[in-house]
Chain A
Amino acid sequence: MSYCVHCGVELADSEKRCPLCHTRVVDPASPEAGQGRPPYPRYEVITPERVSKRSVLLVMALIFLVPICLVVVCDLSLHARVTWAGFVMGALLCVYVFLAGPILSVGRWYHAATLCVAADAAVVLGYLRYIERTTGGHWFADFAAPVVLLAALSVGVVILLRQHAGATRLMVAAVAVAEAGVFCLVLELMLNRAFGLRDKLVWSLYPFVTAEILAILLAVIDRTPALKEKLGRKFFL
């Protein structure tokens, strides 16, 4: 008969440690302490069988193949060549890459995030280039490529800030908001340049000014611990 020196409770003969505080049972008068019949069969670790990422991707590819085949067959039977089916295929390829990145980096998504963003940007650029070539447009180099690259760069900066620079969440939010403002500005600039809309900035100034002021506000709050604490107390959910 053993007792826990901390909790004062009697321990069943099967207990090697006190179930309440995990103190090991040491009873010189009763060397059989912990050797009694346990109330349940021994616990055995069972490792569940995991589905490999490769098979998930394969299943996904086969599912995507169904609409691709259908649209290609439909397009060929109507036009005897691939026309609009190319857009559908490109869009599905983009979706596949968007999904495949996170699946491949399950468990280490946080570290592979920049790579995923780069891959997503590359496939979107490829798709837009294809659309430009097929439709005979001249907007890829002047408009689509810089906008997509800027968007990818903005997301990349946010991820790197959080991962490597160890920035606080509030600071990351400040940078993201500032980037969103700049993005609006660049977007209008590119639209004007590529399509000759206007020779000055109009609508983008509103989100830009708002976003930059908000970003400065967030950064100031982040840098002022007393203010941060006070606001946290007032606005907690």
Chain B
Amino acid sequence: MEQKKLRWMRLDNAAKIYPAARRRNWNNMFRVSATLSRPVDPAVLQTALEATIGRFPSIAVRLRKGVFWYYLEEIPSPPRVRQDSACPLAHIRFSEIRRCAFRVLYYENRIAVEIYHALTDGNGGLVFLKTLLAEYLEQKEGILIPPGQGVLDRKAPPREEELEDSFLKYSGAVSASRAEESAYHIEGTKETDGYLNQTTGILDAEAALSLARSYGATLTEFLTAVMILSILKIQQRERPRAHRRRAIKILVPVNLRRLFPSETMRNFALFATPGIDPKLGEYTLPEVVRMVHYQMGAEINPKKMSARIATNVHTEQVMLLKLMPLFIKNAAMKLVYNMVGESKACLSLSNLGQVQIPAEMQPYVTRFDFVLGAQAQQHNNCGVLSYAGKLYINLTRNIREPKLERAFFTDLRGLGLHVKVESNQRD
């Protein structure tokens, strides 16, 4: 009998840092979830996962260790779907990632996919979730959902373009400098058991977008500006002396598929870090929105991005580094990550934009969410998306005090937006 060979692939350029940067109780994960109009049937979800998984050979993988690099190896069978736990992105051990680097969870009406960031980015994760949902709904409801709007054809074989490392393809000839000023980090009492607090703000998407446009900005730029001012207030309270305040910068991931014609399902995102220097004086919202708008405009263009890709790719291609055994590379990368990796921004604000799904699915799906885990040193993170006229802002934190959540949502409230909050706070 002919045995099927398990496919393997190198980690993409952005993914290489994640296995090295891990901690004993932290791995870089993110989560996308969809809430359905009816309770989830776990048995159907399992068969849907089995039918979908073959279409995503870059996600249905486990992390393996080579002599010089980590690599991804296809898993022989899909993992069991599991019931969700009390907090999103509950700690996954590294040994588990080496068996399967993603998990599919369900709770009442919700299906969630939690993915190790070395496999793909938020956009790739969302395509996987939408395709899984389409298969689930086809099996459960007996409807036919055509491919399109982020739903892939489960019967078609995966295309090579989906598996490519687009960083290598779109790397420029000139490298950009990595030098950046360090940013302020919100401090607090760390949850001892690794509990990730999630607070979701639900807003009217149209109202938020209109308000952003009235300031001459996109929704991401506007939310970033409000977030900067919220953090500024926290810093002013905690560091009364102005000269001791640090820069406030937000890491805004940029989906490079919008700048380059890539169809990869793997990581293909870089980031911009708009921000302000609080030492220079007081700031108003219109001023910060304008600054964020221009900073992001100057940063997010194909030329600048390809130069930044080149910086990362050239580092990876230095022969001396390539020849170093993995354990030495790991130690060096971890050191660099600890020193500079997370120090350049206060937190990430990742906006997946407006989620579109085929019309046939819409009656069955009521909501989408995008949740980023806390980083190793940054205690807060923010995932945003909008669906069916609602804007879902998911703030996560691994500290007890909801300082940022309170400042940010009450600021949005103060700007005249209606905010509904929901959380997984413990009694």
Contacts and interface: CB of A to CB of B under 8 A. Distances in A.
Interface of A: 7-12, 14-22, 37-44
B333 interface: no
A28 B96 CA distance: 48
A40 B200 contact: no
Interface string B4-36: 000000000000000000000000000000000
A17 B83 CA distance: 26
Given A20-B402, A21-B406, A41 B86 contact: yes
- Give the one of B88, B201, B421, B427 with max A CB within 10 A: B421
Contact of A40 (B86, B419, B427): B86
A42 B107 CA distance: 11
A38 B88 CA distance: 13
A9 B425 contact: no
Given A19-B402, A43-B195, 17 more contacts: A7-B409, A9-B421, A10-B421, A11-B420, A11-B422, A12-B422, A12-B423, A15-B423, A19-B421, A20-B402, A21-B406, A22-B402, A39-B198, A40-B85, A40-B88, A41-B84, A41-B107
Contacts of B423: 12, 15, 19, 39
B424 interface: yes
B87 interface: yes
Interface string B335-361: 000000000000000000000000000
Give the residue among A11, A16, A20 with the most B Cβ atoms within 10 A. A20
23 contacts: A8-B410, A9-B410, A9-B413, A11-B420, A11-B422, A12-B421, A15-B421, A17-B425, A19-B199, A20-B406, A20-B421, A37-B108, A38-B424, A40-B87, A41-B85, A41-B86, A41-B107, A42-B86, A43-B87, A43-B195, A43-B426, A43-B427, A44-B86
Interface in B81-126: 83-88, 107-108
Nearest to B87: A40
B74 interface: no
Nearest to B422: A12
A8 B107 contact: no
B422 A14 contact: yes
A33 B421 CA distance: 14
Interface string B383-427: 000000000000000000010011001100100001111111111
Nearest to B369: A39
Contacts of B427: 16, 43
A10 B107 contact: no
A43 B86 contact: yes
A20 B409 contact: yes
Contacts of A21: 402, 406
Contact of A39 (B83, B409, B422): B422
A40 B420 contact: no
A10 B418 contact: yes
A-B pairs with the 7 shortest C-beta distances? A19-B423, A12-B422, A43-B86, A20-B406, A10-B420, A40-B424, A9-B419
A18 B85 CA distance: 22
Contacts of A39: 198, 200, 422-424
A7 B410 contact: yes
B291 to A, nearest CB: 27
A16 to B, nearest CB: 7
Nearest to A10: B420
Nearest to A43: B86
Contacts of B406: 7, 20-21
A20 B87 contact: no
B7 to A, nearest CB: 35
A18 B420 CA distance: 11
B84, B88, B108, B422: which has the most chain A beta carbons within 10 Å?
Answer: B422
A9 B86 contact: no
Given A9-B410, A12-B421, A19 B405 contact: yes
Nearest to A7: B410
Interface in B61-91: 83-88
A87 to B, nearest CB: 35
Contacts of B198: 39-40
Contacts of A15: 421-423, 425
A11 B405 CA distance: 14
Nearest to A1: B420
A39 B410 CA distance: 22
Contacts of B410: 7-9, 20
Most chain A CB within 10 A, of B84, B86, B87, is at B86
A12 B418 CA distance: 13
A169 B173 CA distance: 56
A41 B198 CA distance: 13
